Amino acid sequence: MTLAHEMEEAARVAHELRVKRDQRARMGRLLKHLFLISVSIVMLYPLLWLLASSLKPENDIFGSLTLWPTEFQWHNYVDGWHGLPVSFTTFYINSTIVTVLSVIGNLISCSFAAYAFARLQFTGRTFLFGLMMMTLMIPYHVVLIPQYVQFLRLGWVDTYLPLVVPRFLASDAFFIFLMVQFFRQLPRELDEAAMIDGCSPFKIYWAIILPLSLPALGTAAIFSLIWTWEDFLAPLIYLNDIKSYTVPLALRLFLDQEGQSSYGQMFAMSVLSLVPVVIAFIMFQKLIVRGIATSGMK
Amino acid sequence: MAGLTLRNVGKRYGALSIIQGLNLDIHDGEFLVLVGPSGCGKSTLLRMIAGLEDISEGTVAIGNKIVNDLPASKRELSMVFQSYALYPHMSVAKNLAFGLQNFKMPKAEVDRRVAEAARILQIEKLMDRKPRQLSGGQKQRVAIGRAIVREPKLFLFDEPLSNLDAELRVQMRAELASLYTRLGTTMIYVTHDQVEAMTMASRIVVLRGGKIEQVGTPQELYEKPQNLFVAGFIGSPKINMLKAKVSDNQAVVDGLPAFALPTLGTTDQELTLCVRPGSVRIGSGKVTAEGTVKLVEYLGNETLMHVTLSSGQVLLVSDNGKVGYRTGDPVTIGFDPFDLHYFNAAGQRIEPIENEGIIQ
């Protein structure tokens, strides 16, 4: 065999091997994706069921096994919106007020407290920090009754104050902890440079620490938003007047009604109640990414 | 511009004493370098002057004003940090202007100063960039720019060049020196790099364990180190130290022939004799000894030889590099007792009373 032949042969073998390897890799990828897709279907099933049920006729919801509705009941959404004595417009406005105020309150007060714990020197700092961390371990249900009594005495029951005011007092130890951890990893030399540049401790917090902590603030904002929006227990306890109900409280009313149960409408409104959370998540997620991008320390 | 006076300055963290009873006068317009091994308290001292650390005892005065209780921003000084500490979320222009804006300076004046600093440091083209888009050298310039826009009475530098690569460090060193010549402002510079100290300083303060070992010009420190620590710390390659026993005004050193000492005015029986590698010759000298070459380091303009004496002690010899010695070669080294530095048993320098006495 000539050299040219040998080389040709070698190239052919190499090509075959490469094709086989590519095929194997493609097969592996396919299996991996099949597995991942099937797992995510399991995870998504309840959500899909909710979505499907919101469009089904009343007797199909628990009667039929298929997800696909026999006929699409779009009017569930319109009927649901006005299906209660008070329209959902009011509930959404209520929820928005409570949520927006809570998020703002949490961000301001928790970052303020976290700055103190992370950067300022004061007597009892370690002790107070430990005390704060301990509150993380107290279940909400333990303080429920004393808290209710306290707000009752203040005359705040049946207002939004018990839902909102504590947020402005850095009551959420988890967010403080999250931010303390984040602030601590910001170089202290930045504070010192700012100190020499004439910054007061408040100015350092405002002009240096906060802008560099967008990722932590974004995370806190998302969690605070989701938890407040979805919260059922606290509004249930403190809000009595249907006109001041938040969305999760209102959803329950569909079940309370006597005579005909309106599951379709309830599921339709449940689907709508998820929309703001999803939008907010997408919005703040961008903020998180941008926050990380702007904080190139080195 | 202003001088600086430190009186009995001390720093303690609980029971741990970092700096003790330190006295120092820094003259107006001086480039003073604080140098010492790590943990000697030089950075702490700088931070105390800056107002970033409390002063446990004593007083610090800038000009004639005691500043112990004055916050950092009111001390009319600016500081360049080792990590540069540029504000990552602000553009270069904003970084420079930030301090001035905090002091409520009119916008026209802020703009003028920022433009001036940018021109001096040649960073005009970088003004819109964020710190993460800058190279190490550029960040360094911006950090210096942020210091000079303030037009302070006092500049503080905390190991500003230690994050740069070797070539850039040499370049920035020269630029800092010319900046100093141009501004004439008092500068206090902390480093552990003795080359930086020697090349830039008007005066050097050598610190160890929170105490001043010696203050002097680079030349004074090199030529008349006051104690063994300074002798060993200043100068590269490192000075040779020989333990000597004295009897009948003769110095007896292991591995060397006995030789006559000058009149030293000390009764100590044990002295340490130091000689710089550059003062040791190959082949000749008033005092000579045989040894073996242990290691040869060729540096181009000089060759550094590690020579083992018969006592086992290794002497560093700096030679002009023309003699091609190799590891294991026997070699004769020599020196002139005139070039020796003498230190008593306590490690303090002793000056010979009359230098003529040395010549045998």
Mean model confidence pLDDT for chain B: 89
Alpha helices in chain B (DSSP H): 42-50, 92-102, 107-121, 136-148, 166-183, 194-200, 218-223, 228-233
Q: Where are the domains of chain A?
A: 3-53, 77-294
**Whole-complex ipTM:** 0.84
- Please report residues of A whose CB lies closer than 8 A to that of B77: 196
CA neighbours closer than 13 Å in the CB half-sphere of residue A167? 23
pLDDT digits (tens, 9 = 90+) for B23-33: 999 999 999 99
Q: How far is A107 from chain B (nearest CA, A)?
A: 20
pLDDT digits (tens, 9 = 90+) for A150-205: 999 999 999 999 999 999 998 889 999 999 999 999 999 999 999 999 999 999 99
pLDDT digits (tens, 9 = 90+) for B244-271: 998 888 888 888 888 888 888 778 888 9
Q: Within its chain, how far is the Cα of B27 from the centroid?
A: 17
Indicate the range of A125-139, A275-289, B250-264 predicted with least confidence.
A275-289
- Tell me which chain A residue has its CA closest to the CA of residue B105: A198
Q: Is A294 on the interface with B (CB under 8 A)?
A: yes
Taking the C-alpha atoms of residue B158 and residue B192, their distance in angstroms, rounded to an integer, is: 10
Q: Where are the domains of chain B?
A: 4-229, 239-358
Q: B14: pLDDT confidence band, cut at 50, 70 and 90?
A: confident
Pairs of residues, one from chain A and one from chain B, whose beta carbons lie less than 8 Å apart = 66
Q: What is the pLDDT of residue A75?
A: 82
Q: What is the pLDDT of residue B354?
A: 64
- Tell me which chain B residue has its CA closest to the CA of residue A294: B89
Q: What is the pLDDT of residue A140?
A: 83
Q: What is the mean pLDDT of residues A254-282?
A: 82
Q: Which CATH superfamily is domain A77-294 in?
A: MetI-like (1.10.3720.10)
Which CATH architecture does the domain made up of B4-229 adopt? 3-Layer(aba) Sandwich (3.40)
Q: How far is A181 from chain B (nearest CA, A)?
A: 19
Which single residue is written with the structure tokens 């065999």? A1
Q: How far is B131 from chain A (nearest CA, A)?
A: 8
pTM, full prediction: 0.80
Q: B303: pLDDT confidence band, cut at 50, 70 and 90?
A: confident
In this predicted model, which residue has the larger pLDDT, A73 or B51? B51
Q: Are the Cβ atoms of A196 and B130 closer than 8 angstroms?
A: no
pLDDT digits (tens, 9 = 90+) for B211-240: 999 999 999 999 999 999 999 999 888 999
Indicate the range of A121-135, B114-128, B292-306, B321-335 predicted with least confidence.
B321-335
Q: Strand B349-350 and strand B341-343: pairing?
A: antiparallel
Q: Are the Cβ atoms of B71 and A295 closer than 8 angstroms?
A: no
- Tell me which chain B residue has its CA closest to the CA of residue A187: B85
H or E element in which residue A180 lies: helix A173-184
Q: What is the pLDDT of residue A260?
A: 64
Q: Is B105 on the interface with A (CB under 8 A)?
A: no
Q: A297: pLDDT confidence band, cut at 50, 70 and 90?
A: very low
Contact between B62 and B2 (Cβ < 8 Å): yes
Q: What is the pLDDT of residue A290?
A: 58
- Please report residues of A whose CB lies closer than 8 A to that of B163: none
CB atoms inside a 10 Å sphere around CB B162 = 14
**Beta bridge pairs of residue B19:** B11
- Please report residues of A whose CB lies closer than 8 A to that of B98: 194, 197, 207
Taking the C-alpha atoms of residue A296 and residue A292, their distance in angstroms, rounded to an integer, is: 8
- Please report residues of B whose CB lies closer than 8 A to that of A294: 88-89, 130
pLDDT digits (tens, 9 = 90+) for A45-62: 888 888 888 888 877 777
> Mutation test of the interface with chain A: which of B96, B98, B156, choosing the one with the most A Cβ atoms within 10 A?
B98
**Which is nearest to B262 in space by CA: B355, B144, B185?**
B355
Q: Looking at chain B from residue 32 to 51, which residues have their Cβ under 8 Å from any Cβ of chain A?
A: 50-51
Of B50, B73, B87, the CB nearest to A208: B87
Q: What is the pLDDT of residue B189?
A: 95
Q: A258: pLDDT confidence band, cut at 50, 70 and 90?
A: low
Q: B92: pLDDT confidence band, cut at 50, 70 and 90?
A: very high
Out of 2.40.50.140, 1.10.10.60, 3.90.550.10, 1.10.260.40, the CATH code matching B239-358 is 2.40.50.140
Q: Are the Cβ atoms of A192 and B89 closer than 8 angstroms?
A: no
For residue B6, give the 3-state DSSP assignment: strand
Is a pLDDT exceeding 60 seen at residue A298?
Answer: no
Q: Looking at chain B from residue 132 to 171, which residues have their Cβ under 8 Å from any Cβ of chain A?
A: 132, 146, 150
User: With 0-12 CB in 10 A as exposed, 13-18 as middle and 19+ as buried, what is A99?
Assistant: buried
Percent of chain B with pLDDT over 70: 97
- Please report residues of A whose CB lies closer than 8 A to that of B86: 193
- Please report residues of A whose CB lies closer than 8 A to that of B71: 195
